[in-house]
Amino acid sequence: MFKLPGQKSQEILKRDKKYTSSSYFREYPFVVEKGKGMYIFDVDGNKFLDFGAGFACCSTGHCHPEIVRTIEKQAKTLIHIDGAVFSYPCFVNLAEKLVEITPGSKSKKVFFGNSGAEAVEAAMKLVRHATKRPRMIAFYNSFHGRTYGAMSLTASKAVQRDGFTPLVPGITHVPYPYCYKCSFNLSYPSCNFACIDYIENEIFHTTTPPDEVGALFAEPIQGEGGYIVPPDGYFKELKKLLDKYGILFVDDEVQSGMGRTGKMFAIEHWGVVPDMVCIAKGIASGMPISALVTRAELMKWKSGAHASTFGGNPVCCVAALTTIRLLEKGLVENAKKQGKHLLKALKGLMSKYPIIGDVRGKGLMIGVEFVKDGEVRDKIVYQCFEKGLLLLGCGTNSIRFSPPLILEREHIDKALAIFEDVLRKI
């Protein structure tokens, strides 16, 4: 076991506390110096196996040589010019590529931002603009970001709203298909999707007239809310309901997209084509860029109606194009293969350790939920950190396994050995 945090880490953490926003959360006292592939090193020289990937951003691992080369080359050529005003080849190339790889017809258009929240904000504005309908629906437990619009959709933790109201009006939250803790106390499939029925027969008849609803925003697998996977058939049924009332489906793939679940986009697991897709995190291996991809006929706002100075920055665009090439060349397939093995092994631990209540996931987006709330989960995450494994919590009592997609069997074995050792002793 390491002695953590080391001397240098302690010094930096002291200054971190003094000078940086108190809103940042520090799951454990970890001060990073560098990363390489599946590993990160702290400033004291300790080495950690990374199963968090910088909150699912470092899709190709840390400092993948091809990403580094691409960034270096672009940085020597052109760093910034503002895609809102001037076009350049990698801006258009990336838009064209995203149109090709997102679900649905090839008649789509792309808006670039810098963060997940910015992609969601763009979607909210475009929904209002395109449909002229004022209301939106989102899910309890969802996380869509922390800017005012995105925060108004988000219903994950009270602290994210506390002191910030009033929020954007006209947003109704409904229960997510969280079968492990069903809001209706029913079981799938005999529930017959009571949670969808509730939207039509309760929500639409009481608080939220459907012809005023522009869109429903959904994460195909809830991320921050606990890595919650809806049951098969849910999204098909939901889309039928939305189509019946002319409501758009905005698919927030910020965390689940870019190959993480073993398909380029998680919604593809259920064969549903969204009207808009929000993308960020894993798109550029950790470089800050996001995108909103929509059906072309929806994106008819006037020149100047919406833009972002840095959105689609050239260095980020080339990093995204190289990331997508690496994903297509094998990393999406690897996420599927390694994810299957990891999921099976974690399910095996569930039958051995009764403190685990549920294990669920697709590809390398896997959640382990503990029977008891909070404290046990936090202890496990901390003790794994002390043994050199970086994990992150999600929801109130779950741990997410979201490693880089370059993960190999040896990394899984190593991580599981540490995780089980901690479980055994907790």
Ligand X SMILES: Cc1ncc(COP(=O)(O)O)c(C=O)c1O
User: Of 5 and 177, which CB lies nearer to ligand X in the complex structure?
Assistant: 177
Q: Taking CB under 6 A as the criterion, which residues in 240-259 touch ligand X?
A: 252, 254-255
- Give every strand in the sheet of 171-174, ordered side by side: 108-113, 290-295, 276-279, 248-252, 213-218, 135-139, 171-174
Largest separation between any pair of C-alpha atoms in the chain: 61
User: Of 332 and 392, which CB lies nearer to ligand X in the complex structure?
Assistant: 392
Tell me which stretch binds ligand X (CB under 6 A): 116-124, 259-267, 297-305, 351-359: 116-124
Q: Amino acid identity, residue 4?
A: L
Q: Which of 50, 224, 251, 358 binds ligand X (CB under 6 A)?
A: 224
Q: Give the whole-angstrom CA distance, residue 252 versus residue 127.
A: 14
Lookup result for tokens 């679940």: 261
Would you tell me how many other CB atoms lie within 10 Å of the CB of residue 362?
Answer: 22
Each residue 122-161 as x (binds ligand X by CB under 6 A) or -, in order, gives ---------------------xxx----------------
Q: Least CB distance from residue 400 to ligand X, whole Å?
A: 11
Q: Least CB distance from residue 82 to ligand X, whole Å?
A: 21
Nearest to 384 by CA among 53, 50, 8: 50
- Distance from the Cα of residue 405 to its chain's centroid: 14
Q: Least CB distance from residue 119 to ligand X, whole Å?
A: 7
Using the rule CB under 6 A, is 59 a contact of ligand X?
Answer: no
Number of residues this chain uses to bind ligand X (CB under 6 A): 15
Using the rule CB under 6 A, is 42 a contact of ligand X?
Answer: no
Ordered alpha helix ranges (H), 173-281: 194-198, 234-244
Q: Which of 71, 98, 117, 366 binds ligand X (CB under 6 A)?
A: 117
Phi then psi for residue 110, to 5 deg, are -130, 135
Each residue 368-397 as x (binds ligand X by CB under 6 A) or -, in order, gives ------------------------------
Phi then psi for residue 27, to 5 deg, are -60, -35
User: Of 61 and 257, which CB lies nearer to ligand X in the complex structure?
Assistant: 257
User: Of 140 and 353, which CB lies nearer to ligand X in the complex structure?
Assistant: 140
Q: Are 52 and 16 in contact (CB under 8 A)?
A: no
Q: Which of 5, 54, 223, 339 binds ligand X (CB under 6 A)?
A: 223
Each residue 265-284 as x (binds ligand X by CB under 6 A) or -, in order, gives ---------------x----
User: Of 139 and 385, which CB lies nearer to ligand X in the complex structure?
Assistant: 139
Tokens of 64: 């993948």
Q: Are 170 and 140 in contact (CB under 8 A)?
A: no
Q: Amino acid identity, residue 41?
A: F
Using the rule CB under 6 A, is 121 a contact of ligand X?
Answer: no
Chain residue at closest Cβ approach to ligand X = 116
Tell me which stretch binds ligand X (CB under 6 A): 164-172, 205-213, 219-227, 325-333: 219-227
Using the rule CB under 6 A, is 291 a contact of ligand X?
Answer: no
Tell me which stretch binds ligand X (CB under 6 A): 12-20, 115-123, 161-169, 180-188: 115-123
Strand partners, 248: 215
Long-range CB contacts (within 8 A, 24+) of 31-37: 31/5, 34/62, 34/63, 35/61, 35/62, 35/63, 36/61, 36/62, 36/63, 37/61, 37/62, 37/63, 37/64, 37/404, 37/406
> Which residues of the chain form contacts with ligand X (CB under 6 A)?
55, 115-117, 120, 143-145, 219, 223-224, 252, 254-255, 280
